[in-house]
Amino acid sequence: MYRIIEILTSDENQSRIKEFFKKFNVKLGDSVIIETNNAKHMGVLIPRYEYADVSHLVLKLKNGYNIGINLEKINSIKKTPVESDPTKSDTHNSLTESEIIRDSPDSQLPNLSLLSTGGTISSKIDYRTGGVMPALTAKELNDSIPELKKLANINPEVVLSEYSENIRPEHWALIARKIADNVLSGKYDGIVLSHGTDTMHYTSAALSFALQALPIPVVLVGAQRSSDRPSSDASTNLIGACTFATRSKFSGVFVAMHHTISDDVIACHIGTRVRKNHTSRRDAFHSIDISPFSLIKKDQIEICEQYTDLKFHERNKNLENLVVRSKFNDKVMLLKFYPGFDCKVIDYCVEKGNKAIIFEGTGLGHINKECFHQIKNAVKKGILVFMTSQCIWGKTSLTVYDTGRDLLEIGVIPLFNTTSETALVKAMWCLGNFEDKDVISMMTSNIANEFTNRIIVD
C-alpha cells in the first residue's frame, strides 16, 4: 500500500506544487472550480499518492470519483463558497437550511436510534498512512448525510469504536443490552446499528437470538468503502437501513447492504440467514438458501412474497413481550475439515475445556473416518458436536452415505441448513443462557429463522 502525503516527495516537486497553490491561493481540502482550455471542473483538492504522476492535481468530484488534471493545462483555480460545496450531491444542494440543520424534532417524523460500533462505515482515509482508520462518530455519520433528516428524528450514540474483527461475544452482549434499553424506553420507531462488515453477520445472528419478540426493527448496516472514498456505499446503505427501520411493518433483526454493485437497490437480509461472500464488492452480502427479506428502492419497501412460512412479527407496541437473553459462552470451537486435517485438534478442544464443537464438514456433512476416534472421545467427555457444511448453499444430510450414518451413531448432531457462523453464535448463546440438558433441543429448534423449512432462492 502506498503512503499518501500532502506534498510531493522530491524537493523540486514540493517547491513546484507549493508555488502552484500559492499562485491561486488554494490548499488541499479546498472546494474549487478548475478551468482548463477545454473544460471546467468542480470538486475538492485532495492529496496524491507518493509515487503517483507528479504533473497532475487530483480533484474529488461531487459524484465521489477522482480525476487527475495536468498542471500545464490549468488556466485558473477558484475557491467555491462553502454553501455551494461541489462535493455535495445535487440532492444535498437542493435541501434548505431548515432541512439540513434541524434544532428540534419534527413531530411528523418517526424517531430513530442510530448506534455506532465502528467499522468502515464510520471511517475515513488517514492521509498519513494511506489506510482507513476509525474516525466518524454516530453523530458525524448522521450529520454527513442530510437525507437522513428527512426520514426521521435521529438520536446518534456511540456504543463502541472498533473494527469488526475486534468484536467479541462480550461486545454482542453489550450491544444487545444497549438496544434493549433503547427499545424499552419506548422512544423509538426503529434502531439502526452501524457495524464493520467483516463480522457483521456474526453480530446480526447474536442479536437475533439475544433479542426475541422485538416490537420494532433493528437493522445492522455497514459499508465496503469508507464515506470519503470514491464510490462509497456508506450513505446509500445507511439511507436504506433507516428507511426500512422507520417504515417497515415488520420487526426483528436485519442486515441492510447493497443488492447489486449499483446504488439502485438496498437488500434487507434476515439476521441469521446472511453472509459476507466477497471481500470488497458493494454487493458482498447475500441471503443463504433464501431470498432477501426485502428490497428498498428509493423510498419503497418490497417484501419478498416467499416468506409465508417463516417466523416474523409485525411492528407493535408490546414492549413487555421483549425477551432479552444476552449472555454468551465462548467455549465453542468452529472447525473446518479439509484433506490433511489433524484430528488431534479435536483432542485440543477437549483439553481446553470447550463445551461444543461446530464442524464444517464436506458436502452433506462428512469428516474423514480417521477422526472418528477423537470425535467419540469428545462426545464421551460431554462435548456437544454439531455438523454444518463447508458449502455455502444447501443442507447437511447425514443419512445419505455410510460416513454420515456413522457420525450420527457416534452422536454428531446435524444442523440442517444453518450456516456455520450462525451455528457458532447460536451454540455460544445456548450455552450462555440454558442448562446443558436443554442445549441440544434448543440447537435443533428454529428460534430466529436460522433454519428454513424449504430452500428459497431467486
Point out the residues that are catalytic: 120, 197-198, 276
| DSSP assigned state of 273 | S
C-alpha cell, 159: 456504543
* CA-closest candidate to residue 320, choices 209, 215, 223: 215
How is residue 362 annotated by DSSP?
B
* Cell matching residue 360: 464444517
Q: What is the DSSP string of 281-320?
A: -TT-EEESSS--SEEEETTEEEE-TTGGGS---B----GG
In a 3-state reduction of DSSP, which class is residue 411? coil
Nearest to 183 by CA among 195, 191, 171: 191
Is 75 exposed, middle or buried (CB count within 10 Å of its CB: 0-12, 13-18, 19+)?
Answer: exposed
Q: Are strands 217-221 and 252-258 parallel, antiparallel or unpaired?
A: parallel
Q: Kindly state the helix (H) or strand (E) to which residue 154 belongs, with its residue range.
A: strand 153-158
Query: Torsion-angle region of residue 25: left (phi > 0), alpha (psi -120 to 50) or beta?
Result: left
- The alpha carbons of the chain give a radius of gyration, in whole angstroms, of 26
Classify residue 90 as exposed, middle or buried by CB count within 10 Å of its CB (0-12, 13-18, 19+): exposed
Residues near 84 by beta carbon (within 8 Å), at least 6 away in sequence: 31, 93
